[in-house]
Amino acid sequence: MTTAATVPTRQEVALADTWDATKVFASDAEWEQALDAYAQSIAEIEQYQGRLAEGAPTLLATLNYADQLNERVGKLYIYASLFYSVDTTDQVAKAKMDRVLGVYARTMASSAFIEPEIIGIGFETLKQWQAENADLVSYGQYFNEVERRQAHVRSAEVEQVLGLVSDAFDSANSTHRILTDADLAYPAAHGPDATELELTQGTIGLLLTDPDREVRRTAFENYSDAHLANKNTMANCMATCVKQHVFNARVRNYSSALAAALGENNIPTDVFHQLVATVRKNYPTWHRYWRLRREALGYDQLHVYDIKAPLSTKKLDIPYTEAVDWIIEGMKPLGEGYTSVAKRGLLDDRWVDIYPNKGKSAGAFSSGWKGTPPYILMNYNNDIFGMSTLAHELGHSMHSYLTWQNQPTVYSNYGLFVAEVASNFNQALVRNHLFNTNQDPDFQIALIEEAMSNFHRYFFIMPILAQFELEIHERGQRGEPLTAATLNGIMFDLFREGYGEEVVPDADRMGITWATFSGHMYANFYVYQYATGIAAAHALAEGVLAGKPDAQSNYLAFLSAGSSLAPLDALKLAGVDMASAEPVEAAFRVLASYVDRLEQLLTNK
C-alpha cells in the first residue's frame, strides 16, 4: 500500500504490481523494429488512391490494408503509452510517444482518400458490390456511417491536410498534461501536528477523504493553488483547443463544435441539452445530501474539501486482492465466462498497474487495442474508492476484451457514450453485492459515501463541465477571448448554481476546476457522456439484478458489439433508450434513495 506520505519512484515499484508491456512487444528493440517496418509500409496504401471505383476487390483490399495499419499502429502506440503514462518525467518514453503520434498522423494523411472515394462510388453501387462479394458485407455498418456523414467528409486533399495536422493539434492537450503531471510542484498537505503529507496526482484522492479536516483543506487548497499559479498558460492551452474544435467544425460543415462532436458519434444534440436540463432540475437532491452531510459532520459550514469527508470513524482498509474478490463476486450475475477472464486479468496476467508512483498519470483509465491486453492504470490506495474505481475500469477493459473477441478491426473501437455504461454498470453490481452481504452500519455508510462520491463526479461535476464546454465553445465561435479570468468566472458561476447555498463558495479554487481535468476538457464535448453513461448503467443493472428475461444475454451482446451498431441502437439492444430523459430521471431516483438510506443509518447510529 502507498500512503500519502511516501510515494515511491517508478523504479521502486515492485514488478508484480505493474502491467506487463511484454505482452505487446517483448522489448524496446522489437518495438523499434516494428516501428521502422510500419513507417516504411504506410505509403503502400497510396497505391490504391484513385482506384477504389475499379470494383469490389480493389475496395476490399484497400479497407483490409487500412485495418491492418490501424491494428499495427495501435499496438505501437499502446506499448509507448504504457511507459509514458506511469512516468511522465521519462523523456525516452515521451520521445516514443511523439514518434508514434507522428507516424499516426502520416497514416491519417495517407489513407485520407478512402472515404471521399467511397462517397464517389455511390451507396447504391456499394450495396450491389456487397451483394456480389460476401467479404464486403462486414463493412456494411461502416458504409452506413460514411453515408450518414457524407456532407461532412471533404475532398481527399482536404482530408489529407486534416490528417497531417492531427499530431500538431494535440499539442495544447499534451502541453497541459505535461504541466500538470510532470512539472507542477504541489506543496505538501499538513495535518494538525504539522506532519507533511506528499501531494501528487496519485494521492490527491486519498487526501481528500482523510478524516482530518486540516489534511483535506490543505490538500484541496494546495492542489488548486498549484493550478492557479499556472492559470494563464493553462487558459492559453484551453483557448487554443477551442479554436481547433471550432476550426474542425467549420471545415467539416457543421453548425457548431457541439454538432460536430456529437454528429461524429451519431448522437443527437437534443441528448446533450436534455441531460443538462434534467440535471439542473434535480439540483435540490444534491442540496439535500450536502445539508445532511454538514449536519452529520457537525459543521456550521460545508466546504468543497468536506464533500468526501468520511462520515464514519471506522476506516475501511481494502487490500488490492480483497478488492478483486469483492468485484468478482459482484459480477457473478454476468456468468462464469465474464468473471473467469476478469479475475485472470486482474491477478495473473498483469493487466493492472496498481499503485501510485512519482510522475504517474492522475486517476485511472483503461487502455489497449485489438491485439493487446485491455490494460488498466490505477493509483490504488487500499480504500473503498479504489475498489470501486477498479471495478469501473474493469468494466471498460472487459467491454474492450469482448469487443475485440467478437468484432473485426473496423468495429473494434467504440465511443465514450457506450463505454461509460460498461464501467458504471460494474460499480452498480458490486455495490449491490456489498449492500446485501455486509450489514454493518459503518460499512453501509462507507459504501453510500463511495456511491455518492462517484455520482458527484459523474452526475454533478461532469454535467457542470459540459455546460462550461458549451459556453466556452459558443464564445469561441463568436470570436470572443478566452482568458484565465473568463474561464474561471464561467466555471465558478456554474458551481455556484449547482452547489446553491449549501457549500461555501471559493471563487478562485472552484473556478480553476476545469484545469484539473486536463485530458477530459480537450476531447470536445466528451464529459457529458459520463452522466449519460451512469444513467444507462443503472437502468441496465436493475434489469440484470431483477432477473429480467434476456437482460443478461442482451447486456453481454451489447459489450460484444463494439461500433458495429450506432450508440443509441447498441443501448437499445441492451435494454435502455437514451433518447429519452427517463433513464436520467431514474438515476436521480437512485441517488435520492442513497440519501434516504444514509439519513436512516445516521439517525440510527
> How confident is the model at residue 206, as a pLDDT?
85
Backbone angle region of 479, left / alpha / beta, with phi > 0 → left and psi within -120 to 50 → alpha: left
pLDDT above 60 (res 2): no
Half-sphere exposure of 371 (CA within 13 A, CB side): 17
End-to-end CA distance of the chain: 31
pLDDT in tens, 429-444: 999 999 999 999 999 9
pLDDT tens track for 191-206:
888 789 999 887 888 8
Least confident window among 130-134, 155-159, 288-292, 533-537:
155-159
CA distance 197 to 590: 36
- Which is catalytic among the residues 115, 159, 393, 469? 393
Q: With 80 as the cut, is the pLDDT of residue 509 above it?
A: yes
Cβ contact 458:449 at 8 Å: no
pLDDT for residue 170: 84
Alpha-carbon Rg for the chain, nearest whole angstrom, is 24
Q: How far is CA 580 from CA 3, 222, 266, 272, 583, in A?
A: 44, 42, 16, 11, 7
Work out whether the CA dihedral 164, 472, 422, 417 comes out positive or negative: negative
Contact predicate 354/2, CB 8 Å? no
pLDDT of residue 427: 97
With a cut of 50, say whether residue 1 has pLDDT above it.
Answer: no
Place of cell 523494429: 33
* Residue 506 Cα to chain centre, angstroms: 27
Are 72 and 34 in contact, with CB atoms under 8 Å apart?
Answer: yes
Contacts of residue 593, defined as CB under 8 A and 6 or more positions apart, other chains included, come to: none
**Four-CA torsion 220, 225, 231, 233, nearest 10 degrees:** -100
CB within 8 A of 229, min separation 6: which ones? none
C-alpha cell at 372: 493487446
Element (H, E) at 375: strand 375-377
Q: Are 428 and 455 in contact (CB under 8 A)?
A: no
pLDDT at site 158: 87
What is the spatial distance between Cα 387 and Cα 569, in angstroms, rounded to a whole number? 31
CB burial of residue 29 (10 Å; 0-12, 13-18, 19+)? exposed
The answer to whether the CB of 305 falls within 8 A of the CB of 297 is no
Choose among 400, 418, 411, 385: nearest CA to 345. Answer: 400
Report CA torsion sign: 229, 3, 450, 395. Answer: positive
Q: Which of 154, 156, 145, 158 is nearest to 49 (CA)?
A: 156
At 185, is the pLDDT very low, low, confident or very high (cuts 50, 70, 90)?
Answer: confident
Q: What percent of the chain has pLDDT over 90?
A: 86
Active site residue 471: no
Q: How many CB atoms lie within 10 A of CB 458?
A: 25
Alpha-carbon distance of 455 to 458, in angstroms, equals 5
Q: In the numeric block, which cell numbers belong to residue 351?
A: 493487466
126-148: average pLDDT = 95
Report residue 163 as a C-alpha cell: 490528417
Q: What is the pLDDT of residues 7-16, one digit of tens each?
A: 899 999 999 9
**Cβ atoms within 10 Å, residue 127:** 13
Phi, psi of 105 (to 5 degrees): -60, -40
CA angle 67, 72, 78 (to 5 degrees): 125
HSE-up (13 A, CA, CB side) for residue 46: 12
Domains delineated in the chain:
10-151 (1.20.140.70)
- Least confident segment among 89-93, 104-108, 182-186, 208-212: 182-186
Residue type, 376: I
Query: For 24-64, what is each residue's pLDDT tens digit?
Result: 999 999 999 999 999 999 999 999 999 999 999 999 999 99
> For the residues 394-404, what does the mean pLDDT come to?
98
Question: From CA 520, how far away is CA 277, in angstroms rounded?
Answer: 21
Residue 518 has pLDDT above 80, yes or no: no
Using the predicted structure, report yes or no on whether residue 3 has a pLDDT greater than 70. no
382-392 per-position pLDDT tens digit: 999 999 999 99
Cell of 551: 437482460
Q: Which of 356, 354, 319 has its CA nearest to residue 6?
A: 356
Residue 6: pLDDT above 80? Answer: no
Residue type, 534: I
Q: Is the dihedral of CA 587, 589, 592, 598 positive or negative?
A: negative
Q: Which residues contact 143 (CB under 8 A, 6 or more apart)?
A: 118, 123, 126, 130
Q: Amino acid identity, residue 89?
A: T
Query: What average pLDDT does the segment 321-327 reach?
Result: 98
Check pLDDT > 70 for residue 4: no
- Dihedral angle of Cα 363, 367, 373, 377, to the nearest 10 degrees: -10
**Residue 22 to residues 75, 373, 556: CA-CA distances in angstroms?**
11, 10, 29
